[in-house]
Amino acid sequence: MRRKIIIDTDPGQDDAVAILLALASPDELEVLGITCVAGNVPLELTARNARMVCELAGRTDIKVFAGCDRPLQRKLVTAEHVHGKSGLDGIALPAPVMPLQEQHAVDFLIDTLRAEDSGSVTLVPIGPLTNIATALQRAPDIAGRIGQIVIMGGAYFEVGNITPAAEFNIFVDPEAAEIVFGAGVDLVVMPLDVTHKALTTRPRVEAFRAIPGKIGPAVASWTDFFERYDKEKYGTEGAPLHDPCTIAWLLRPELFIGRFINVEIETGGAFTTGMTVADWWRVTGRKPNATFIGDIDAEGFFALLTERLARL
């Protein structure tokens, strides 16, 4: 069955690859819309970048919405040090021609979840959770109508990437994450524990670059860009390709292994704000609320990604 999805995003090169993977998979996924949030770069740029990615894929029909321009309670933290000034550094793409939708992303989320059959829409947040939390706060009735939320965010064994204790998407808006993780919705979480195993090694990047047409070389230029920073930081052969893990899970869940456990969000820690306190070893007796993924068949993931990108 074809799944209806809304991608909530802050592009970001890895967000862009996730969007392309979804658009390359129309037999399995129907992209109802792309909702943008402030994160890697400010909202104006994420909303621009999302449209540039749709245009790169020739999909000017996709509806792109701008959402929240700052976290619920905190000052926005961005990540230009990873993604570059534009958020999508690596290749110069033309300025977008397709319009941004006039409706606010949060209103689109609420209206769509109310209009579509209950349980039929999957949300895929791959940035800070501000838009999703705002929608849940404003319209609590939608919680029971969401089929599933597949999140890129958090970490347990890998702990943090923006602070020693926190992953970027959760750190930027921990209060929003707390709302989403407490909403009683079916959650699947792709933490750093898994995305740090999805590394852009040389042969994998060269396989992207060899795809005929413009998509493969664009993806290779993006990964080349953020690799510079990540390879030095982690001392690894390549950089983690975080966000596409969510879409890959929707397409091929058998590539992943995880556990249904309790995950709480630290909002008040002196040093640990934004930490995902994941009860991996089931030592608390707290109620499980998320399928927390820990492992990936990285070869299978990159084979899927390369094969799908070649279809665009």
Stretch 109-168 residues interacting with Ca ion (CB under 5 A)? 126-127
Among 79, 109, 219, 220, indicate the residue that binds ligand BDR (CB under 6 A). Answer: 79
Among 62, 64, 126, 261, indicate the residue that binds ligand BDR (CB under 6 A). Answer: 126
Which residues 6+ apart lie within 8 Å of 307 measured at CB? none
Asked if 15 interacts with ligand BDR (CB under 6 A), we say yes
161 binds, among Ca ion, ligand BDR, none (CB under 5 to 8 A by kind): ligand BDR
Rounded Cα–Cα distance for residues 155 and 208 (Å):
28
Which residues are annotated as catalytic? 242
How many CA atoms, within 13 angstroms, populate the side-chain half-sphere of residue 216?
A: 18
Asked if 34 interacts with Ca ion (CB under 5 A), we say no
Residue with Cβ nearer ligand BDR (145 or 230): 230
Among 53, 82, 165, 241, indicate the residue that binds ligand BDR (CB under 6 A). Answer: 82
Rounded Cα–Cα distance for residues 11 and 254 (Å):
27
Residue with Cβ nearer Ca ion (76 or 310): 76
Q: What is the DSSP string of 23-92?
A: HT-TTTEEEEEEEE-SSSS-HHHHHHHHHHHHHHTT-TTS-EEE--SS-SSS-----HHHH-SSSSTTS-
Rounded Cα–Cα distance for residues 166 and 238 (Å):
21
Stretch 233-252 residues interacting with ligand BDR (CB under 6 A)? 242-243
Which residues 6+ apart lie within 8 Å of 18 measured at CB? 7, 9, 124, 126, 152, 243, 244, 246, 247
Q: How many residues contact ligand BDR, by CB under 6 A?
A: 15
Among 50, 152, 190, 245, indicate the residue that binds ligand BDR (CB under 6 A). Answer: 152
Asked if 264 interacts with ligand BDR (CB under 6 A), we say no
Residues that bind ligand BDR (CB under 6 A): 12, 14-15, 40, 79, 82, 126-127, 152, 161, 167-169, 242-243
